[in-house]
Amino acid sequence: MNQPHKIALLPWGNVIEDFLDSINLSWQDFCTQMTGGWLFGYIEALKTVEIETVIFCISGRVETIKSDVHLPTGAKIVTLPTTKAYQAIASSMQNPYGWTTRDTFGNFNPLQTPYKTLQRHLAPYLATPLDSLTQAIQQENCTAILCQEYEYPRFDIANIIGKRLNIPVYATFQGGDFQMSACERFLRPHSLKNCAGVIIAPKTEIKRVQEQYNIPENKIARIFNPLDLSLWQKGDRATIRQQLQIPPEALVVMWHGRVEIHRKGLDILIDAWPQVCDKIAAPTHLLLVGTGSDAEIFRQKIAQMPNSNIHWQNQYILDRPLMCDYLAAADVYVLPSRHEGFPVAPLEAMACGLPLVAADAPGIPDILEAGEDSGGIQVSRENAPQLAQALVKILNQPDLRAKLRQNARQRIETCFSLTAVGQQLATFLEKNQP
């Protein structure tokens, strides 16, 4: 059996602009500047074992199939128009990923509830153009398919394509442990039974999948998300502090990512912050970098804070050296999330030598497997006092900070490098070829 030589990568979501618009990025930004994350980390890791990748995106903003190149990685991007059926439904959607029919469509005539509910459940399946995606994958000579999430309708569609083309289908876990369409509960067990394998890093998710779907152990690989260590090195601490008017002697806590208040636990961080400031004698600052769907609500929350020591850069930063500078300006990294899949942001911070304080969202127990020896402290989710206590502990102990910095970088080098992950992926893909 041989490993596949070219993989079709299918990102999560109905259409690609849902993701890009939420972080204020253009298609050009995506193609020319965006790096890191699950998608591009996998591309770079697979390149180390000579496996080529093609990204297949679905969009409501193109009328014909178009091809681009992702300049930082050299990967080809094929964008296909979504179906007219999906576009018709999406035109009346307020939030394509709403938890309820009312969340999805906003206000509508109650008599339309059964019809709107049916649309909500069908929409994520209709978003993927089955026939044209099958043809495009075949034309690119892809010999395997890899989906970002198995708990998403596109994975079910991918399995149909895989059967048509007689190629294996794989999927990873990046946080999708829930189902939004009623159709999924009927289709997903069949898809997981027939796929070639799934890649899951968190032990808790492996246990859930095994118990819920009875997947054999040999179809599951515990492989961490890769990180390009060449992109994440210690940056220029002094410059960013000077720009933000943060004193050289100040202690700085940092977070970066998408501004989604509930999912990312940013309300917990805001609640914990005054408790941190009360227990630190030195000047203490909170540095936040990122934007997202809750940016305006988050701005209002910050405006209500009594302290002026919160610095928020309300933008998604594509410049990796600049992001390294922001991370270098900090002394501790914090991740207060309620929900994650396998978060990349703390890995980036640890690669830059930052100690980590993180809530025990999925993925964190695996990153901090050995506690402080892995470079950080884990606390309970939705527990602002615990979060504050852990931050205070590290900020008040310079020797502990130094130890955790060293442990954090070592943890990333050992388990998350492109070479290490690439070898694991190649072994799993070769072993699980049908």
Res. 231 pLDDT band, cuts 50 70 90: confident
Rounded-to-integer distance, Cα 196 and Cα 205, Å? 18
Greatest distance between any 2 Cα atoms in the chain: 65
Look at residue 342 and tell me whether its pLDDT is greater than 90.
no
Specify the amino acid at residue 405.
Answer: R
Look at residue 3 and tell me whether its pLDDT is greater than 80.
no
Query: What per-residue confidence (pLDDT) applies to 177?
Result: 82
What's the mean per-residue pLDDT of the chain? Answer: 94
Q: What is the pLDDT of residues 4-32, one digit of tens each?
A: 689 999 999 999 999 999 888 999 999 99
SS3 332: strand
Q: Are 80 and 57 in contact (CB under 8 A)?
A: yes
Rounded-to-integer distance, Cα 329 and Cα 312, Å? 13
- Pair of tokens at residue 65: 């199939």
Query: What per-residue confidence (pLDDT) applies to 392?
Result: 97
Rounded-to-integer distance, Cα 39 and Cα 228, Å? 12
Average pLDDT over residues 253-259: 96
Average pLDDT over residues 125-147: 97
Q: Are 184 and 156 in contact (CB under 8 A)?
A: yes
Q: Which residues, in sequence order, are CB contacts of 360 under 8 Å at separation 6+?
A: 378, 379, 380, 381
CA 377 to chain centre: 21
Least confident interval from 133-137, 254-258, 340-344, 377-381: 340-344
Q: What is the pLDDT of residues 151-162, one digit of tens each?
A: 999 999 999 999
Look at residue 390 and tell me whether its pLDDT is greater than 80.
yes
SS3 80: strand
Rounded-to-integer distance, Cα 364 and Cα 265, Å? 14
Please give the DSSP secondary-structure letter assigned to residue 151: S
Query: What torsion do the CA atoms of 130, 135, 136, 137 make, to the nearest 10 degrees?
Result: 90
Q: Which CATH class is domain 230-415?
A: alpha beta
Specify the amino acid at residue 208.
Answer: R
Q: Are 172 and 165 in contact (CB under 8 A)?
A: no
Strands (E), 211-369: 220-221, 251-256, 284-289, 310-313, 332-335, 356-359
Average pLDDT over residues 249-260: 96
Three-class HEC string of 154-171: HHHHHHHHHHHHCCCEEE
Angle at 25 between CA 91 and CA 60, to 5 degrees: 30
Query: What per-residue confidence (pLDDT) applies to 1?
Result: 45
Q: What is the pLDDT of residues 72-81, one digit of tens each?
A: 999 999 999 9
CA 416 to chain centre: 15
Q: Which fold has domain 6-82+127-226+418-431?
A: Rossmann fold (3.40.50)
Rounded-to-integer distance, Cα 71 and Cα 31, Å? 6
Q: What is the pLDDT of residues 315-328, one digit of tens each?
A: 989 888 999 999 99
How would you classify the pairing of strands 6-10 and 52-59? Answer: parallel
Q: Are 206 and 145 in contact (CB under 8 A)?
A: no
| Listed residue (188, 316, 326) closest to 252, CA to CA | 326
Average pLDDT over residues 283-311: 92
Average pLDDT over residues 239-260: 94
- pTM of the entire predicted model: 0.83
Q: What is the pLDDT of residues 37-55, one digit of tens each?
A: 889 999 999 999 999 999 9
Look at residue 332 and tell me whether its pLDDT is greater than 90.
yes
Give residue for tokens 């939420």.
22
φ, ψ of residue 376 to 5 degrees: the values are: -170, -175
Look at residue 417 and tell me whether its pLDDT is greater than 70.
yes
Look at residue 341 and tell me whether its pLDDT is greater than 80.
no
Average pLDDT over residues 379-405: 97
Counts for the chain of helices (H) and strands (E), in that order: 20, 14
- Pair of tokens at residue 256: 């970066």
Domain coordinates in residue numbering, the chain = 6-82+127-226+418-431, 230-415
Please give the DSSP secondary-structure letter assigned to residue 189: H
Beta bridge partners of residue 9, listed in sequence order? 55, 146
Query: What per-residue confidence (pLDDT) applies to 2?
Result: 61
Rounded-to-integer distance, Cα 172 and Cα 211, Å? 17
Between the alpha carbon of residue 144 and those of residues 151, 161, 230, 236, 424, the distances in Å are 19, 10, 28, 42, 16
What DSSP string runs through 359-405?
E--TTHHHHTTTGGGGTEEEE-TT-HHHHHHHHHHHHT-HHHHHHHH
Q: What percent of the chain has pLDDT over 90?
A: 86
Rounded-to-integer distance, Cα 386 and Cα 372, Å? 16
Q: In which region does residue 175 sit, left (phi positive, over 0), alpha (psi from -120 to 50) or beta (all else)?
A: left
